[in-house]
Each structure stands twice: as structure tokens, then as C-alpha cells.
Amino acid sequence: MENPLKTLWAEGKPVLNGWCSIGSAHTAEIMARQGYDSLTVDTQHGAFDYGAALSMLQAMGGKKVVPLARVPWLDAGAIMKLLDAGAMGIICPMINTAEDAAAFASYLRYPPHGQRSFGPTRAGLAYPGYGVAANDAVLGFAMIETQAGLDNVEAIAATPGIDGLYVGPADLTLGLSQGALPAGFDRDEPEIVAAIKRIAQVALDAGKIPALHCMSPEYAAKALDWGFRMVTLNGDARLLAAASGASVAAFRALQNDA
Amino acid sequence: MENPLKTLWAEGKPVLNGWCSIGSAHTAEIMARQGYDSLTVDTQHGAFDYGAALSMLQAMGGKKVVPLARVPWLDAGAIMKLLDAGAMGIICPMINTAEDAAAFASYLRYPPHGQRSFGPTRAGLAYPGYGVAANDAVLGFAMIETQAGLDNVEAIAATPGIDGLYVGPADLTLGLSQGALPAGFDRDEPEIVAAIKRIAQVALDAGKIPALHCMSPEYAAKALDWGFRMVTLNGDARLLAAASGASVAAFRALQNDA
Amino acid sequence: MENPLKTLWAEGKPVLNGWCSIGSAHTAEIMARQGYDSLTVDTQHGAFDYGAALSMLQAMGGKKVVPLARVPWLDAGAIMKLLDAGAMGIICPMINTAEDAAAFASYLRYPPHGQRSFGPTRAGLAYPGYGVAANDAVLGFAMIETQAGLDNVEAIAATPGIDGLYVGPADLTLGLSQGALPAGFDRDEPEIVAAIKRIAQVALDAGKIPALHCMSPEYAAKALDWGFRMVTLNGDARLLAAASGASVAAFRALQNDA
Amino acid sequence: MENPLKTLWAEGKPVLNGWCSIGSAHTAEIMARQGYDSLTVDTQHGAFDYGAALSMLQAMGGKKVVPLARVPWLDAGAIMKLLDAGAMGIICPMINTAEDAAAFASYLRYPPHGQRSFGPTRAGLAYPGYGVAANDAVLGFAMIETQAGLDNVEAIAATPGIDGLYVGPADLTLGLSQGALPAGFDRDEPEIVAAIKRIAQVALDAGKIPALHCMSPEYAAKALDWGFRMVTLNGDARLLAAASGASVAAFRALQNDA
Amino acid sequence: MENPLKTLWAEGKPVLNGWCSIGSAHTAEIMARQGYDSLTVDTQHGAFDYGAALSMLQAMGGKKVVPLARVPWLDAGAIMKLLDAGAMGIICPMINTAEDAAAFASYLRYPPHGQRSFGPTRAGLAYPGYGVAANDAVLGFAMIETQAGLDNVEAIAATPGIDGLYVGPADLTLGLSQGALPAGFDRDEPEIVAAIKRIAQVALDAGKIPALHCMSPEYAAKALDWGFRMVTLNGDARLLAAASGASVAAFRALQNDA
Amino acid sequence: MENPLKTLWAEGKPVLNGWCSIGSAHTAEIMARQGYDSLTVDTQHGAFDYGAALSMLQAMGGKKVVPLARVPWLDAGAIMKLLDAGAMGIICPMINTAEDAAAFASYLRYPPHGQRSFGPTRAGLAYPGYGVAANDAVLGFAMIETQAGLDNVEAIAATPGIDGLYVGPADLTLGLSQGALPAGFDRDEPEIVAAIKRIAQVALDAGKIPALHCMSPEYAAKALDWGFRMVTLNGDARLLAAASGASVAAFRALQNDA
């Protein structure tokens, strides 16, 4: 029961995370073959819920990539079901207070470190020997993506059982600017960049992993310079839309030239 | 990003809402062709959850009918996922207090008007250009269906971000009569009718849309006279059961005659 | 291992058959409660295939109604899989020759009466004791719905193992009129009625069950007078569309009156 | 609207409960044929959620076995949806206080005995006549599986609307020992056995049903001696793994001998 | 009942076809938004069958793109089911003889032009008014992808009811070279290019539409110069794999530079 | 692209095959962990078709066990789709003649050894580098299970591209005895045993793999003595039914004793 992501961090390497918004075991298996270190099935904004997530985790089984999951909300049942399904870590949105963080952490681990209920039905198949020792392998990322979350970031980072702070730039920007700035990733507004950097520093100071949701490889590389130790790079739905759209556009341009 | 239901109301027209209790994209597509103004996928009492609801919303895409969804309970994750899936409005059961109403409203809209998280994965496909401007298009209906809800109806109606009050007569009757009256729709007991009319009036006074769940066209037409501006007319499961049952009964009668 | 439909016929009673075109266990369970003697899951024109058919047969389990299935085409694999899934009879489209009929019959029964492969995985759960004796319980209906089928109807009816002739009036009309008459059920053109009656008579003369696909109870009752011993009455998709459409129309009429 | 489990208890007989962790209507139908008195679809640790649970309940329809369901967490929406889907009782994990118990009980029954919302869409198909009278038929089992739950067990047992206390030995052991003892069922540590017996006695004293999750028939039989009136016996996933593993091992041993 | 692809051809414009190998309504909806003229759900080599294809066609409903489908093999049931599900044309693999072509054509159209069975269950929802007139709207593409198919290409092209010849370069290359050349698209071996051009010319001479499966926009544009009037451009699974792989590679390069 | 089963045979070891009749990725993953050398997803008598088979193959990915599939019938489309989905071999029922065998073999391999169409969509993900070289890795087992098949067994065994003869004892017994003997496995009637042994010998003489479907480890071990080089041992549905039934029976016996 080791989590290979911890090994990467121990070796001083960053973690490159992929992102699944499409609820399909086929797309999950495609993504699992591309060289990401971890791959997150997103049951929050992804167009799927537990049933598809399970089939995606099953299809990722036996691949080198480490499966993670994002839950729709701070919800004990959803978190524990995804861990039982084989996710090796949970990203939880909208952690705004230390109380949120403590509740989240408690759902991730068996007693005495939490209140996770025992019954790792599929995790036990995916990882022979899975049991209480999973407490050491499972990761919990608290998303900092509101003004309140930013205000309480030190307390959140200090919460035992929280392994990392995950920055959601779209929501953080909407929240900090109170809707004045448009939603989106790869921000360059100084006040947003400052907030993002601050979260990274707070995490590092607390001995936790700072993680950032990015679009472009260039921005993700820059995030490493800011201290982030995990970067998410785009996601399946956007990658497919962009690639197919570009292919069509290229053909239409050639067609119009002719 | 306009909601055609708002246009109907602006023109002084009522909204005729259809209802899907069957978890099937096929039945949803049948219902979407019948001339309802809106069509609600009911993930509360309907025999399906998010996965089927998504496929139903996908099958309704491109039809003229406006898709709505009912959630099982006041639950941030469920509400946001159905909005992301393309529902243009949410009906939330069991809103009993102004606090319930405020929480519900906050889940429907992006900052600064709420705490909805950004990531309209399918809504962005269904409605090109969908973004923060969805705040103006998305509708929130608070269900008034308990004694407590009725006691607090003015405060609920006054809650910013609540667009309408939706009356569930079956639960309201059970609640007001403490189980003394049977469950069911299209009530004619004076005390229940009075409560229903009162909710309509409170909504109208607060500039909100009163909506009523009805069975028969006649009752729905009467509801318009009471001031309701949205009426739900029966639902797929009951319509199918009644139609097939009547067909069998007609044949059996002819068979017995012969 | 008895087939209740055989009991009905032995008692001189007709069989009233319901029809499922919607691929949903929920609609199948609704239909199973309406008083039909048998209920057919249509994997030919129904919008579903084996997977949904299985779930529909499972949901019909334990109900009084006898489950039947229509296959997409004369296909050994499809026929045997639906029998294994618990269908107590198969309706096979487009049986045009005695050779077609003999092949069809052979797929329905274990040796020495056919070449059905043994492995009634779900049928064995649905009907404890199911085994080779199913040969006597399972029914095979050959659809007569082309000019060729009509030309060969006596030979088809005479084929051992064919239990009934099932008339598909829409295709039969297209075929006999070479597209000159519109598709549809409940025909009243004399030449089509004559053909339909002839098929019934051929079946009866051969000791087989004539069956007719009907829409209205009145037409179905008339079919009994013509000698049909099994009548299908409308179907779930049409019943739902008609009932919801009528409900909308009634409301719109009342709305316009007001 | 009777619950056959109540009849068994009235006759002084124990209830033998089966357990479904696999999300498949096929395995549910297999389990439903084995002679259990009740069969629980486990949406907590089982590898499935509502959608598969519905199909399992549909496949169990018409069988003699009484369907129950475990929910992932104390969640009104999940509880009511499973009741609407036809579960005749709910097992709720992690009931730690009388407040938890009261909330749980309120979700199970219609007013005036609770706040269950009316709309038994599939239950009405499964049990003709299902309505408010379901209040008397539906069962609620509070799981006692933490130190806090044990501390409050008398108050939980005394809560109106709680029909039984269900002991989850794996979590209870982790909780009481603070992780010092390994997870698992069929405990024989004296302090754990004492706690288990105490819960049984508290339930009996309060006129409630004590239930225990067991693995072996021998342990389950012993639990009856301790006063338990309902015992769960192993579960589908473990039974399949053990049986197939034993079959392989037996072959390998024979192969190695040869 | 018009097929917009016919309008494009009548206007002298080529058809740009997209390709779905992933069995997901979500990816289908993404692809449907990218500006392809038509979009093919591939039930041959795509990792899905009828059930997913139906949900994909439903999700494409109401979009401008014209839905087509490829069947696994020359199979009447599969072809008719996909037409009933709303495909406006069928691509059939491995048409090797005029007899194959005639059988294929017969499955596409109602009498007197073929033997398609009547029952357009979902097509009737997707295209109000769909009926026998669909004979003029539905398209049939015969795949030429073997030595035998090439040998018989003139007779295949001359078959009434065949609307186009669709070239599968991977199989054609394996077949013509008897496995000596590797599989793949966008061929540049002179003998393969010559065969491809010959098929285009034969189609044009017979008044039929030549179509080519391509990968790059450049090759597709070149195909137009060769006379092709329909070109398929890559496909969802490859586009996603390439885009995500490129994104990872770009990040790794930047990471290594740092 | 190696097939580990070939390695086992080259080392003189038998192959122990497991069997999946339940259409569930969860049960497939359980079975994949038990130590079978190969595991067959049975789309003939198993209660599932391609869709579930795909999810089962995905869940088996990355496990040591080699995935095989049985098709419902000799059907090019079904065979090629399961190969594309990642099955490393196909078991085809009811091969009765050398013509059947030659057709079957042709569907398994790319030119020049067959007519398999190129497009290994999921196989390419499961086995990086999968391509035309799969011709050497993929296995084809012809089922001998009728009198005709037995009569032609030498010619079937001699057919190039047939890798093994797979004996289905239930159907073979029904066929040889013309229904006089009951269906079932692990036969001990001398004439059936003689036929089974003969098939093994014919396969061995032709340099092919004889395989036998068995229930008990003892019978499977005996089959090795008869020369079989692959034995199937029971199957998931029967194992589960037997194990749960035995558990219930043991409890009932203890209960009755008390």
C-alpha cells in the first residue's frame, strides 16, 4: 500500500495530473496511456457520477497512472464511495474553513485518524492487501477557490490529514473579483496570481503539497517555478474539442483556398 | 443566454410544464415533442438519478422545450451537477425556511450572487456561450409542501434568487392534515385549496412565479385563474399507466360483450 | 414449465398482448401491471437491444404477464440469447419461406427438436426447473409481412415447431401494395383485410395460433371475430405520446378559451 | 402493505439476511433465489449506487425475499429514493446520537410520523396499494458501529421510528479499539463481543430488533443465542471470491499432485 | 424529409465527415459542435454497440450535423435498427460483390425499393414526418476495402440504391498488399493511391459519391482534388490521444529544460 | 504481442480457464484475481452482450489473466468486435463443418491469413503495439458440440487458423443422445466420455489444443489425463449460487438444530 505520488514528491519531482470530465471508461483508458503521473475522475463538473467513475477506475486498473477523484461537494458518502472504488486520493471543492477541512480529512481515514467506514470493496481488488494501512496511502486535497477559503488558508493547511491545497483558478477568480473578472484558467491578473502564489507558499510552509489546475504546458511549467508540486494539465473534454475543432478549421481553410 | 420561459412570462403567458418520472432518454424525447413549454426531469421521485437525467437532457437538446430538473433534496452537489448538465432551472423540494431558501438560491448562481462552482461542462455544449451570464437565465423554484414551509412562505418568497414557489399538493396535504387526508393531486378540500391559493398570492406579491403540480387539464386551467403562472400537467409514468390501462380495459369490455 | 398462454388457448380464450418499444425496465414494469396476458419486448423496432431487454425481462419477473420478445431479424444468436434471458416466446420478423420458418423453429428448441444451445442462464433463475422441458413451453411466431411470406404462408404454417403466424400489417401493406398504400396498422382496405383474414385461416387450418398487431381495442376485438387468437394492442411509446399529446391539447384548448 | 419480516418476528423466528455488494441485477436475482428472508442492496460499500440498486430491486420483484437497502450515509435524498424504489427497509450507517437517529427515522415515514416526501414511483408498482400505510411496513435499522454510537445506544434505541439496531462489527472494532484491532467480522475478542452483546440487549430492552452482520453460519447461529433476531450472512462478492478461489486452489493442488 | 448532405452535393460542395469511435453521448455532443457536415457513429471498430449509438444519436439531435452510422458487418438487423434510431445514412464494411451491394441496398429502403421493415421508432421523433419518404433521404455507402471489392467495384457502383463508395484505406492496403504493407490511413504508396483514385473515378462515373477515410486535413484536401466528394477527418479517439499526448510531451519537455 | 497461454503450452503446462456468465465488471475483476490463467467472457449464454463484455475486458486490463470471449454464434461482426475490445481469443459455438471452421478462422486474422477488418480500437490501448502481428497472438477455439461437429471433427481440426477444439459437454450430450440424456457437465456416460476423448485425440493429432468445459476440479484434473490442455472450471454464476445456497443451508441446519 504505497502511493507512487508520494514517492515522486520524496524524489523532488512534481506530479503531472490529467483530468477526466467525460464519463467513459474508453476515454479514461486513453488518458491513462498518455504519461500523466495521476489522473483525476471529476465527479463534480465532469458529466458523470459514481457509476461511470467506477467503470473509469476499473479501466485505469493495472496502468501506471495513479487514480484520483474529485467529489461534487464535501459529502462523506461520496468521498468514501470513491475511495472504496479505488481512488488513491480525493480532491474536495469549496473548502472554506478549518471546520470544512477537518470534516473532509475525517472522511478519508479509518479510526483513529478519522471516521471512514470500512469496506473497500473494489479497492481491495485493485490493490491486494488494501486495508487500514490505506490511511497512509490515500491523499486529501482541499480546494481553495473562494475568498473565505483564502482568508482561512493557513488554518486549512494546518489541518491534520489534509495533504495538499488544490487551487481552482476559475472559481477563485470569480470569488475574489466578485464576478468582475471572467471565469477561466491560466490567469495573469496580478491580484489573482498573487493569491495563487500565496496559497502555494502557505501549503509549502505547512509541509503540504500545493497543486494548481492549469491549461497550457507553459503555464503549468511556470507554476512549478512558483512552488507548485502538482499541476493539472487541461482535460479530456477540452482537449478533444480543441483538437477536433482545429482539425475542422484546418480543412475548411484548405477547402476555401482551393 | 436567455431563458424562453422568462419570455413567456414577460408576454403574460403561462408556462405549461411536463414531467418525467421515467429514467429514459426515449421517453424524454417523446415528452419533448408534445408541446410543453418546459419539461422537468424529476430526480427526486422519478426512478432515476443523475446518469439517466444527463441522457434525458442530452436527448432534449435542440428541442424547443426548456429543460428543468427537480433534485432529491436541498443538496449543493446535486443542484450544481444538474445545472452543469444543462437544466435551465431547478425545483427543490421541502424548502421550509428562509435559511433553506437562501442556501438553495446560493447554489444556483455564480459569485457575487451565489456560490455555484464554475464548470458548465455539458451546459456549455448545449448553450454555446454559456457562462457567468447563466446567472440571469437559470431559475430556482422553492417547493412549499409542509406546514413549516407554509408558515414561512412570505420569507421564502422574499429571498433574493428565488424565482418561484412550486406547490407540491400531495406532500402539502399530508403535512397540513398531519396525514388525515390522503395523498394526491388536484385537491378540492377547502382548507387545502385555501393554502394553495395563499401560496400563489404570496408569490405574486413578491414578484415571483407561482407554480402548481396538477393532474388534469381542467385543474391546471383553474390554477391559472387562481394566479398560477406555471402549471405542471400530469407526468409520463402516470400517463402511460393510465393510457395502457384504459386500452386494456376497453378491449376486455369488448371481449366480454362478445 | 408451463406456458400460461397455452392454458388460455386451451380454455378457448384469446391472448391479449402488450408491446414495449421503450428500452426501460420502469416502463416494462408499468406495462406488466396493466392486465395484458403477455408482453413483448421488441428488439426489432423498439429503441433498445439485448441489454435493455434483459433488464425489462428481469423487471417483469414474478408478474403474472408472460414475457415474449421480438428479434431484429432471423438470427440464431439473438433468438437464443432472448430465450436464455427468460422470454417464453419469440416473434421473428420477415419469415418469407418454409426454409426461413424451419431455421427459425430450429433455433427455438433443444435437440432432437432443434439446435438451440443449452445454457438458460437467466431463464433458470426466472423459472426454477427450466431445462430441456422448455421445448414444450417456448413459443415461436413467424411474422407474415411480405408478398413472399403470403405466397408461402401454407408452407410456413405447416412447418413443425412454428406455433403461430403473427401478422405485421404495416409491412404487409407496404409489401403487398409495393409502397402504394401508406404504412400503418388497423387497415381497412379490402385487399389488405382479405390477406389478413387469409393468414388467420391458414394458421387455424394448420392448428397454429394466428396473431395480429392492432392499435385500437375495437380493431382488436374485430380481429377475434376473424379468428385471431392473439392480438397485440398498441404499444408503450405510442400510448405515451398519444396520452401526453392529448393532455397538452386539452390544456391548450382550455387556455385559449380563457 | 405488510412486511413479511415483521410476521417472522411475530412468529418468534429470526430473519436471515443476504447481502449484495455487486451492482448487478443478475447477481441480485441469483441471491434472491437462495432462501434468505431478506436481501440488502448495499449502496454504501457495495460497488454501485442508486441506478444499479433500482435494477436490482426490480429483478428481486416478485420473489419471496424482502428487499432492504443500505444507504451511504445519513442522507434524506438517498433514503427516500431507495424507499421509492421499493426497499422495504433502510439500514443507515454511523448513527452516533439520538439526533442522528431521530433524523433518520423522520426520513422513513410520511407525516405525521416523519417528513418523507410522497411519490413512491416504483414502490407503487412493486406493491399495489402502496401509500401512506407504508409507514407501518417500512423498517429502519440504525447502525451502531462507533464508540459514540455505543455510548448513546440506549437513546438511539429509544428513538421512535427506529425499528432495529444493526451492528457493523468491522467499524465497531476499529472504533472501539482506535485502530488497534484489525477490521473484520465474526469477532471473538472479549471486549468486542461484550459490546456486541450489549447492543443486542439494549435493543431487546427497548422492544427493537437487534441485527448483526456475520460471515459464517456458525457465528450467525451463535448470534441468535446472544439474542439477535436478524443476522446477515456473508455477501455476494466475498462468496464468489471464496468459491472461485477455492475451486482454483483445488485444481492446482490436483495438478501439482499429478 | 431532406438530407442536408444531398443539398451540399447539389451545390457542388464536399461533405466533411467526423468520426466517433468512443461510445459516449458526451463525446458525440462535443464532436457535433465542431463544424463537421456529418458525423458517423462507428459501431464496427468503435468501442460500443447499438445502445451507446442510440444515446449518441439522441445527443446529436437538434444539432446541424447529419448523423450517419457504420455497421459491424452486412447485417439486416443492425442496419435497420440504426436507421430506426435516426441515422440518415449507413456505411457498410466489406462490400465485396454486387450481391453484397444489392443486399445492403435492400436493407436501407422500404418496398418497393427494398425490404426495410417499417417502424422508425426514434427516427420518427427525430424527424417529424419521417415515413416511407425516408427512402429518398437515407444514404447507403458501400465500403470498398478488399481486393475482391476492388475487382467488383464497377458492379458495386452500378447497384441501384447504393449512393456512394466509401474507401477504407487501412483494410484496402492490407488486402491489396496481402499484409505486406502496414495498416494505416493517408497512404502514399503509388499502387494504393492508384486504387483509391480508381474507386473515386468509378463512383463518379456511376453518378455515385466517392468518400475517403483520411487523417490529416492536408490529405483530405488532396482527396477532394482526386474527385472525392466526402472526406472523413480523423476521429475522436485518435484526436483525444494525440492532443493529450502532445500536451504531456510539451510539459515534460519544459520540465526537463528547467 | 505475445499470448501468455501459448507460453504455458510451450512449457507443457495446461491452461486453467475461468468463466464469466454475469455481465459485471465487478465480478470480472473478482474472477480475474483468483489465479485462473485465462478468463472467458461468455456473450453466448452469459446474461450480457458486447457493452458489458467491453467493461469486463477493461476491468481485467492490467491483470495477469488472459481475456478470452465466447460469441453467441458464428458471426463476423461479433467476433471482430470482441477482438477489437481486447479479447485474446475467441471461442465459437456450434462449429459443425470445415466450412464453418474456415469462416470462423478467417474472421480472426488480418490478410493474408483472413479477412479481419483493421481497427483494434481498445486492443490498441490494452496492448501497446497491437497491430497486424496480433495474427500470431489471437486464438480461435471451435466448439465441437453436435453430432455433425463430431462427424466432421478431423476436418475442423485440420482447418488452418483453428487453434483448438473446445468441447461443450452439455450440448454435445443433448446432440449425441438426441435429447435422451439430460443436459449438464462432467459426464460419465461411457459413450459421451468416448466422444470427448476422441475430440481430444483428434485435436492433439492435428497439433491443436483440446479444451474441455468442466465443473469440478476433480473432473478437470481427469481431463488433463485424457490429454486436454485447457480446462474451464465452473463459472461465476454457478459458483455464487452454490456458495450462497450452501451458506444459507448451513445456517438453516444450525437454526433447526437449536
Dist CA F50 CA F69 (whole Å): 10
Read off the pLDDT of each residue in D209-227 and give the average, rounded to a whole number.
98
Read off the pLDDT of each residue in A220-235 and give the average, rounded to a whole number.
98
Contact A248 E31 (CB under 8 A): no
Q: Residue C121 is nearest to which of F72, F183, F237, comparing CB atoms? A: F237
8 Å CB contact between A171 and A145? yes
Which candidate, D42, D25, D36, D24, places its Cα nearest to that of D91?
A: D42
Instruction: Residue D30: list chain F partners with CB under 8 A.
Output: 237, 240-241, 244
Strand, coil or helix: F12: coil
Cis omega (within 30 of 0) for bond into F93: no
Read off the pLDDT of each residue in E226-250 and give the average, rounded to a whole number.
98
Q: What is the pLDDT of residues B204-240, one digit of tens each?
A: 999 999 999 999 999 999 999 999 999 999 999 999 9
Dist CA D118 CA D100 (whole Å): 22
CATH 3.20.20.60 matches D4-257? yes
Q: Hey, is the C-beta of C51 within 8 angstroms of any chain B C-beta? A: no
Q: Residues 5 to 24 of B: which have CB under 8 A from any D CB? A: 21, 23
Q: Hey, is the C-beta of A147 within 8 angstroms of any chain D C-beta? A: no
8 Å CB contact between F169 and F177? no
Enclosing H/E stretch for E240: helix E236-257
Who contacts F211 (Cβ-Cβ below 8 Å, separation ≥6)?
A: F15, F17, F141, F164, F165, F166, F167, F228, F229, F230, F231, F232
Query: Would the pLDDT of E1 be above 80?
Result: no
CA distance C240 to chain E (A): 13
Contact A121 D183 (CB under 8 A): no
Size of interface E-F (CB pairs under 8 A): 69
Query: Would the pLDDT of F38 be above 90?
Result: yes
Query: Where on the phi/psi map is residue C187: left (φ > 0), alpha (ψ -120 to 50), or beta?
Result: beta
Read off the pLDDT of each residue in A4-16 and give the average, rounded to a whole number.
97
Query: Would the pLDDT of D258 be above 90?
Result: no
Q: What is the pLDDT of residues F51-98, one digit of tens each?
A: 999 999 999 998 899 999 999 999 999 999 999 999 999 999 999 999
Q: What is the pLDDT of residues C117-172, one digit of tens each?
A: 999 999 999 999 999 999 999 999 999 999 999 999 999 999 999 999 999 999 99
Enclosing H/E stretch for B91: strand B89-92
8 Å CB contact between F3 and F139? yes
Probe site for chain A from E8, E240, E257 (most A CB atoms < 10 A): E240
Dist CA E172 CA E181 (whole Å): 10
Dist CA F215 CA F222 (whole Å): 12
Probe site for chain D from B20, B27, B49 (most D CB atoms < 10 A): B49
Does the predicted interface ipTM exceed a cut of 0.90? Answer: yes
- Provide the grid cell at C136: 414444450
Dist CA B146 CA D116 (whole Å): 11
What pLDDT is stored for residue C124 in this prediction?
96
pTM: 0.98
- Would you place residue F188 in the very low, low, confident or very high pLDDT band (cuts 50, 70, 90)? very high
Contact C174 E118 (CB under 8 A): yes
Query: Would the pLDDT of B258 be above 80?
Result: no
CA distance F192 to chain C (A): 16
What's the gap between Cα D105 and its chain centre? 15
Q: How far is CA C85 from CA C71, C127, C137, E49, F82, in A?
A: 13, 11, 15, 19, 21
Contact C132 F182 (CB under 8 A): yes
Contact B122 E55 (CB under 8 A): no
Find chains touching chain B: ≥3 CB pairs under 8 Å: A, C, D, E
Q: Count the alpha carbons within 13 Å of C249 in the hemisphere toward its beta carbon.
A: 7
DSSP string, chain C: ---HHHHHHHTT--EEEEEE-S--HHHHHHHHTS--SEEEEETTTSS--HHHHHHHHHHHTTSSSEEEEE-SSS-HHHHHHHHHTT-SEEEES---SHHHHHHHHHHHS-TTS--PPS--TTHHHHSTT-STTHHHH-EEEEEE-SHHHHHTHHHHHHSTT--EEEE-HHHHHHHHTTTSSPP-SS---HHHHHHHHHHHHHHHHTT-EEEEEESSHHHHHHHHHTT-SEEEE--HHHHHHHHHHHHHHHHHHHHHH-
Dist CA F117 CA F119 (whole Å): 7
Query: Would the pLDDT of A143 be above 90?
Result: yes
Contact F44 C77 (CB under 8 A): yes
Q: Hey, is the C-beta of D64 within 8 angstroms of any chain C C-beta? A: no
Supply the DSSP symbol for B116. Answer: P
Read off the pLDDT of each residue in B51-64 and give the average, rounded to a whole number.
96
Q: Are strands E38-42 and F66-70 parallel, antiparallel or unpaired?
A: unpaired
Contact C179 E110 (CB under 8 A): yes
Q: Do chains A and C touch (3 or more CB pairs under 8 A)?
A: no
Q: How far is CA B218 from CA A27, A84, A173, B127, C242, in A?
A: 50, 51, 50, 35, 18
- Name the residue ranges covered by the structural domains of chain C: 4-257
- Would you place residue D211 in the very low, low, confident or very high pLDDT band (cuts 50, 70, 90)? very high
Who contacts C202 (Cβ-Cβ below 8 Å, separation ≥6)?
A: C153, C154, C157, C165, C210
Q: Look up cell 468501442; give the residue.
A: E47
What's the gap between Cα D67 and its chain centre? 10
Probe site for chain A from D21, D48, D73 (most A CB atoms < 10 A): D73
Who contacts B127 (Cβ-Cβ below 8 Å, separation ≥6)?
A: B1, B86, B134
Instruction: Residue E72: list chain F partners with CB under 8 A.
Output: 76-78, 80-81
Which candidate, C103, C111, C114, C107, places its Cα nearest to that of C90?
A: C107
Read off the pLDDT of each residue in B241-255 and give the average, rounded to a whole number.
97
Q: Residue B237 is nearest to which of D54, D85, D121, comparing CB atoms? A: D121
Q: Hey, is the C-beta of D245 within 8 angstroms of any chain B C-beta? A: no
In chain A, the percentage of residues whose pLDDT exceeds 90 is: 96
Q: Do chains C and D touch (3 or more CB pairs under 8 A)?
A: yes
What pLDDT is stored for residue B7 in this prediction?
97
Enclosing H/E stretch for F204: helix F190-205
What pLDDT is stored for residue D257 in this prediction?
84
Rounded to 5 degrees, what angle do the CA atoms E6, E12, E14 make?
70
Compute how many other C-beta atoms are within 10 angstroms of the C-beta atom of residue E225.
Answer: 8
Supply the DSSP symbol for A117. Answer: P
What is the distance in angstroms between the CA of the first residue and the CA of the last residue of chain E?
60
DSSP string, B202-218: HHHHTT-EEEEEESSHH
- Provide the grid cell at F107: 474472421
Per-residue pLDDT of chain C (258 residues; tens, 9 = 90+): 799 999 999 999 999 999 999 999 999 999 999 999 999 999 999 999 999 999 999 999 988 999 999 999 999 999 999 999 999 999 999 999 999 999 999 999 999 999 999 999 999 999 999 999 999 999 999 999 999 999 999 999 999 999 999 999 999 999 999 999 999 999 999 999 999 999 999 999 999 999 999 999 999 999 999 999 999 999 999 999 999 999 999 999 998 887
- Would you place residue F258 in the very low, low, confident or very high pLDDT band (cuts 50, 70, 90)? confident
- What is the number of H-type helices and E-type strands within chain A? 13, 8
Query: Would the pLDDT of D181 be above 90?
Result: yes
8 Å CB contact between F53 and F86? no
Who contacts F76 (Cβ-Cβ below 8 Å, separation ≥6)?
A: E72, E73, F103, F107, F115
Rounded to 5 degrees, what angle do the CA atoms B13, B18, B23 make?
155
Q: Hey, is the C-beta of C28 within 8 angstroms of any chain B C-beta? A: no
CA distance D128 to chain C (A): 9
Instruction: Residue B145: list chain D partners with CB under 8 A.
Output: 117
Strand, coil or helix: A148: helix
Give catalytic status of residue C26 as yes or no.
no
Enclosing H/E stretch for F232: strand F230-233
Q: Residues 119 to 138 of D: which have CB under 8 A from any C CB? A: 121-122, 125-126, 128
Enclosing H/E stretch for B68: strand B66-70
Contact C35 B258 (CB under 8 A): no
